[in-house]
Amino acid sequence: MSESQKKYSKPRFCIGQLIHHKLFNYHGVILGVDPEFRSSDEWYEKMAKSRPPKDKPWYHVQVHGGGGTRYVAEQNLELDPIVGN
């Protein structure tokens, strides 16, 4: 299938939304979104231990409190329940 024929899942979150990571229990803000996984296979094997799907959206997240940025699969995120968005 060519790049132009791919169908992407619509992202659930938008840039600027506050989120909570369901597995690692941190809060953050969405900085960007990729329609599918866009890092290396090496990174995926090392970092994505739960093996989330590569064909769903992935997010660039700034962790609250100076925790740096993370690349996170959509299935591991939810709207921040504290803020309520």
Residue type, 39: S
Two tokens, residue 56 = 């769903």
| pTM attached to this predicted model | 0.87
pLDDT at 84: 58
pLDDT at 26: 97
Domains of the chain: 9-79 (2.30.30.390)
Whether 77 and 59 have beta carbons less than 8 Å apart is answered as: yes
Two tokens, residue 48 = 């994505």
pLDDT at 3: 56
pLDDT at 54: 97
Q: How far apart are the first and last CA of the chain?
A: 37
Q: Residue 77 above 80 pLDDT?
A: yes
Q: Residue 4 above 70 pLDDT?
A: no
Q: What is the pLDDT of residues 7-64, one digit of tens each?
A: 778 999 999 999 999 999 999 999 999 999 999 999 999 999 899 999 999 999 999 9
